[in-house]
Amino acid sequence: MGCGLRGAKPKAFTIAMTDPFALFAEWMELARASEPNDPDAMAFASVDARGRPSVRIVLLRRLGPDGFAFFTNLDSRKGRELAANPYGALAMHWKSLRKQVRAEGPVEQVDDSEADEYFASRSRASQIGAWASDQSRPLDSRELFEQRYRETCARFEGVDVPRPPRWSGLRLKPEQIEFWDDRPHRLHERRLFTRSADGWAESLLYP
């Protein structure tokens, strides 16, 4: 039996200073064209005071040189955990592309103007839902939540819905970003970008 690399798409590689966000933007555009649902969905992990991790799916809503941002109730489980331990990790997997991206780094709250801008862009029903939900807290019944939703609708009838005071955005500022690209025979390509004082250094990892 042979062990040739035909189809494995080998490439020459040179360590270089590179912008991982430009590569991420390319992959995101491919994902928007090929993923059947939520190409911006990412698994986001935080850690509680006992060092126990938790993970959930959130939606990437802002991307730039400062990092990856999503929006949430700051009193949710992830909000409380990140307030106590402001460090997180995320993973995005695009099954249709056979690609994934991982990132790790400190997490900080976005400023009020950015949170206001994004909240104003949401549908009115989603805005009202943010007021009606005590995210991650115990709920006695679905009927209670729907009642709170109706009461909130009435409260803001005829006026713009303001951003709740404990609803904002959180941004992971990556110290490292890994791009995983599928290759035949599990000879995958893993490119690691590590932040340095001069920008980003690129290297490879074994698959």
Q: For residues 44 and 47, give the distance between their C-alpha atoms in angstroms, rounded to a whole number.
A: 10
Q: What is the pLDDT of residue 198?
A: 84
Is the model more confident about 6 or about 45?
Answer: 45
The predicted pLDDT at position 14 comes to 41
Q: Residue 78 burial by CB count (10 A; 0-12/13-18/19+): exposed, middle or buried?
A: buried
How confident is residue 1, by pLDDT bands cut at 50, 70 and 90? low
Q: How far is CA 44 from the centre of its chain?
A: 6
pLDDT of residue 155: 97
pLDDT at 18: 79
For residue 5, the model assigns a pLDDT of: 61
Contacting residues for 188 by C-beta, under 8 A, at least 6 apart: 180, 181, 182, 207
The stretch 18-47 carries a mean pLDDT of 95
Options 1.10.357.10, 3.40.50.300, 3.40.50.620, 2.30.110.10; CATH of 20-205: 2.30.110.10
Structure tokens at 158: 């005829």
115 vs 13 pLDDT, higher one: 115
- What's the length of the chain? 207
pLDDT confidence band for 49 (50 / 70 / 90): confident
pLDDT digits (tens, 9 = 90+) for 70-97: 999 999 999 999 999 999 999 999 999 9
- Catalytically annotated residue among 98, 148, 186, 195: 186
Would you put residue 68 in left (φ > 0), alpha (ψ -120 to 50) or beta? beta
pLDDT bracket for residue 140 (50, 70, 90): very high
Terminal CA-to-CA distance of the chain, rounded, Å?
A: 22
Whether residue 8 is predicted with pLDDT greater than 90 in this model: the reply is no
Task: Tell me the two tokens of residue 157.
Answer: 């009838």
Confidence grade of residue 16 (pLDDT, cut at 50, 70, 90) = very low
Active site residue 186: yes
Helix (H) or strand (E) holding 27: helix 20-34
Average pLDDT over residues 145-165: 97
Number of Cβ within 10 Å of residue 84's Cβ equals 10
Find out whether 97 and 24 touch, Cβ atoms under 8 Å.
Answer: no
12 pLDDT above the threshold of 70: no
Tell me if 181 sits within 8 A of 101, measured CB to CB.
no
> Taking residues 41-51, what's their average pLDDT?
95
Select the more confidently predicted residue: 154 or 49. 154
Percent of residues, the chain, with pLDDT higher than 90: 88
